Amino acid sequence: MKNVLIPLIVLLLTIGSCQSKQLTIDYFGQTPPGKTPIIFAPGIICLNNRFEARGAFSPGGKSFYFTITNEDYTSQKILYCKYLNKSWTMPDTVSFSKNFNNHEPFMSFDGQKIYFTSDRDKDSLENTRDLFYVNELKNGWSEPIKLDTPINSGYTEFFFSQSENGTTYFASNRPGGYAVFDIYFMKPEHGKYAKLNNVGSPINFGYAADPCIATDESYMIFTSAREADADNVDLYISFNNNEIWSEPVRMGNQINTEANEYGPFLSPDGSYLFFVRHDGEKGDIYWVDLDIINNYR
């Protein structure tokens, strides 16, 4: 598949409404959580006979895309539901996820693109995943388009995230980083993406991945193992003060457990943090009131 340039223009007209708490979203009829995480939509999205992972709501909350995977991550698909006539449709595999391993959807703020991770173009032991996107069509989605360099490289890239001003974040194991996997970012300048940047220290240390950037870039929640002999990964948060990231803080024992916590994403109304908890036997999406981040400032 021929590489194409990253789309140069990020449409921002709907951002304000997408992030407003005035949005009314039906979260599959679930009672909203407090500051103790609970499984999201058990029996509807999170089932006992499968593992769920990172998801993404459309800007207005009328569609939900999420990952299902087996326990060793060798089979991954993206499913979707739509809110129609005051009820959610049953989950179904999205058109562009029928083949290959596809996971970690992220929807653009205008709702016109879905970015995701896929192994459809892997070409070496070092390059097992790349970042792709699809464009919305009248009757579905386009064929997947691979993001061009410098985002994709000859190494593994995954977990696309973007702030409201178009700054793109992702994880990669390309050479020259601080950790086993590092978080990188690119800022749009005059409508173009030109320079790739490593987020650097203190975020990139040991293992750092799965960046979930706040819409205004005021904080980042990410997955990390800070110690070389760590047997699991946890969620950390770092705050942005004039483009200087604070020392990452582990998000406490309410969020993190002896299982692996990863794959964070935010609700479009700015009210909830979602993440994955995977202990080898169960893997579910959890959600929690986003106000919990104030515990770590």
pLDDT for the residue 110? 95
Q: If you average pLDDT over every residue of the chain, what do you get?
A: 90
- Look at residue 32 and tell me whether its pLDDT is greater than 60: yes
Instruction: State both tokens at 62.
Output: 């009328």
- Across the range 103-123, mean pLDDT stands at 94
Angle in degrees, CA 274, 178, 223, rounded to 5: 10
- Across the range 130-146, mean pLDDT stands at 96
pLDDT for the residue 229? 65
pLDDT for the residue 71? 80
Widest distance between CA atoms in the chain:
51
- Across the range 82-98, mean pLDDT stands at 96
Single-letter amino acid, residue 152: N
Write out pLDDT tens, residues 188-239.
887 777 789 999 999 999 999 999 999 999 999 999 998 766 789 999 999 9
Torsion of CA 206, 267, 157, 200, to 10 degrees: -40
- Across the range 110-125, mean pLDDT stands at 90
Q: Percent of the chain at pLDDT above 70?
A: 92
Residues 6 or more apart whose Cβ sits within 8 Å of residue 30: 40, 41
- Look at residue 10 and tell me whether its pLDDT is greater than 90: no
Q: How far is CA 219 from CA 17, 200, 247, 276, 297, in A?
A: 20, 15, 11, 19, 10
User: Which pLDDT band holds residue 4 (cuts at 50, 70, 90)?
Assistant: very low
Domains along the sequence of the chain with CATH = 15-296 (2.120.10.30)
pLDDT for the residue 295? 94
Write out pLDDT tens, residues 238-261.
999 999 999 999 999 999 999 999
pLDDT for the residue 11? 34
Q: Are 144 and 130 in contact (CB under 8 A)?
A: no
Q: Are 183 and 208 in contact (CB under 8 A)?
A: yes
User: Which pLDDT band holds residue 13 (cuts at 50, 70, 90)?
Assistant: very low
User: Which pLDDT band holds residue 6 (cuts at 50, 70, 90)?
Assistant: very low
Closest CA relative to residue 219, chosen from 284, 277, 152, 161 = 161
Instruction: State both tokens at 99.
Output: 């083949």
- Across the range 121-138, mean pLDDT stands at 88
Backbone angles phi, psi at 25, to 5 degrees: -120, 135
Q: Percent of the chain at pLDDT above 90?
A: 79
pLDDT for the residue 228? 61
- Look at residue 88 and tell me whether its pLDDT is greater than 60: yes
- Across the range 128-135, mean pLDDT stands at 95
Instruction: State both tokens at 112.
Output: 């016109």
- Across the range 103-111, mean pLDDT stands at 97
Give me the residues paired with residue 67 across strands: 53, 78
HEC secondary structure over the chain: CCCECCCCCCCCCCHHHHHCCCCCCCCCCCCCCCCCCEECCECCCECCCCEEEEEEECCCCCEEEEEEECCCCCCEEEEEEEEECCEECCCEECHHHCCCCEEEEEECCCCCEEEEEECCCCCCCCCCCEEEEEEEECCEECCCEEECCCCCCCCCEEEEEECCCCCEEEEECCCCCCCCCEEEEECEECCEECCCEECCCCCCCCEEEEEEECCCCCEEEEEEECCCCCCCCEEEEEEEECCEECCCEECHHHHCCCCEEEEEEECCCCCEEEEEEECCCCEEEEEEEHHHHHHHC
Q: Report the predicted TM-score, pTM, of the whole model to 2 decimal places.
A: 0.90
Tokens 């320079």 -> residue: 195
pLDDT for the residue 15? 39
- Look at residue 76 and tell me whether its pLDDT is greater than 90: yes
